[in-house]
Amino acid sequence: MPKREIAVCLIMLILAGIPGLPTVLATDPSTSDLSGTDSSDYDSITTATITSSSADSYMSSKSADTNYGTLTTMDVGYSPSAKIRRAIVKFDLTSIPANAWVDSANVSLYVASFSQSFTIGIHRVQQSPARAWTEGNVTWNKYDGTNSWTNAGGDFNGTATSTTTLSSSGYWNWTATYDVRNFVQTSSTNYGWILKSTTESSSYAVALSTKEATSNKPKIYVSYISSPYDIVGKTGVNGLQAGEDSDSLAIAMRLGDFAVSSMTSGDKYEINFTIGNEDFSMLFVATGASEGKLKLCYKEHGTSTWNDGDSATFSSMSSGTRYASSSGNIAVKLTDSTPGSYGWVKLEAKRTYLTELGAAGYTVSEIDAISYQGSSTSTLRPGAQGGTKMDRCPSGSGYATYSMTPIPEFPSGILFLILLMAPVNVYLRKRFRHAK
């Protein structure tokens, strides 16, 4: 092999073996807490106890047109003589803020009389078409004394919200978090639950206390956060982080009760910041569970018109996976919260891309992070676009700042390469002369 080709090969080997050269760009920078002039906007979990149902009764297949709304107990079960009996109950949840995020909810009913162990499920009453039943008129055949159930005995979700096996008198609980979350956010869908035995063919029966009882009335316990996806009750915990590497700037907002698979259309996560005289907004808006749109907008500081930057659309997203646009200029990583920890929405932009759009310098200022619910999914622009603001970190008028590490004009990797090449060059020249 000619000497010059040997030299070229050696140089290529050296290039391939040097770590940290800018030809291999890093991604997914690690982040750390930012501090702003205000503390993070967080809310503790509030537990509300609603001490009585707003309506309750039961329905009997034996007496299909009889209403039992004034009794102090409601029956659930079956017997050959009394046939099938199903209870029906609902609670007034308007005391809970409509924009609250329900963390947990338990329906608690008192077993006043008991024969033997059996399992009861609660089933959400049909929401569409609406079955607005009334306590004084509901029967096996009709839900309001006038209009018939489509199916005698009540129209309800065939899959039980939850089941509980009763084994004694006293209060028993049924978990109903998802239903209550739905009822709170859209009160018009709150028609409560029908309670039925899981086997309506065996002789099991129970009497549950109603709101007409002098004590042990139906109750519901609801724990909620007044702002969805907020930082769950952690004093002094910052909701905002930032970090960078030689490739990208990353800013992340910390969230409570967040899961990629439970995002709903219009959930929006927005991080705003300024570099030099250019404003930026990185946006991710969910278009449904595990899917959404990513976008970066920019404008000159002090002006009002945003310009479109890079964008991307993703589907079948999963927790902890990084998704980048086709150009690689922007990326998003969503991470579920787990018991005892937080979730994250982490948005990235290439530093070179930000520079192309007008960023100058290494100081990232006026950083804030906001989440919205019910935003537009068709027009991605900073701001609510019809949605309701749910969280900002830092809160109030304060902003966080972050200082990026300057990228050297003459990368240290190249300097290291030259230092290594110098003795190789001397050696090759000597060998070349000697060969002649």
**CATH (domain of 101):** 2.60.120
171 with 108, same domain: the answer is yes
Which residue reads 């009394």 in tokens?
82
- Whether 418 is covered by a domain: the verdict is yes
101 with 217, same domain: the answer is yes
Residue 212 has pLDDT above 60, yes or no: yes
Which residue reads 């070349």 in tokens?
432
User: Which CATH number covers residue 316?
Assistant: 2.60.40
> Is the separation of the CB atoms in 225 and 43 below 8 Å?
yes
R_g (Cα) of the chain, nearest Å: 31
- Whether 279 is covered by a domain: the verdict is yes
428 with 383, same domain: the answer is no
399 with 417, same domain: the answer is no
Query: Residue 303's pLDDT band (boundaries 50, 70, 90)?
Result: very high
99 with 244, same domain: the answer is no
Residue 358 has pLDDT above 70, yes or no: yes
200 with 285, same domain: the answer is no
- Whether 352 is covered by a domain: the verdict is yes
Q: What is the pLDDT of residue 138?
A: 98
Q: What is the pLDDT of residue 18?
A: 46
> Is the separation of the CB atoms in 97 and 388 below 8 Å?
no
Q: What is the pLDDT of residue 204?
A: 85
Residue 328 has pLDDT above 50, yes or no: yes
186 with 308, same domain: the answer is no
User: Mean of the pLDDT values across residues 161-180?
Assistant: 95
Total number of domains constituting the chain: 3
- Whether 340 is covered by a domain: the verdict is yes
- Whether 158 is covered by a domain: the verdict is yes
296 with 217, same domain: the answer is no
User: Mean of the pLDDT values across residues 261-270?
Assistant: 89
- Whether 142 is covered by a domain: the verdict is yes
Q: What is the pLDDT of residue 426?
A: 57
Lowest average pLDDT, out of 13-27, 43-57, 314-328, goes to: 13-27
423: containing domain: 1-21+411-436
More confidently predicted of 231 and 195: 195
Residue 208 has pLDDT above 90, yes or no: yes
pTM (2 d.p.): 0.55
- Whether 27 is covered by a domain: the verdict is no
343 with 434, same domain: the answer is no
Domain boundary among 185, 208, 225: 225
72 with 181, same domain: the answer is yes
221 with 241, same domain: the answer is no
Domain boundary among 180, 199, 225: 225
418 with 398, same domain: the answer is no
Q: What is the dihedral of CA 352, 357, 362, 366, to 10 degrees?
A: -140
Domain boundary among 206, 225, 244: 225
- Whether 26 is covered by a domain: the verdict is no
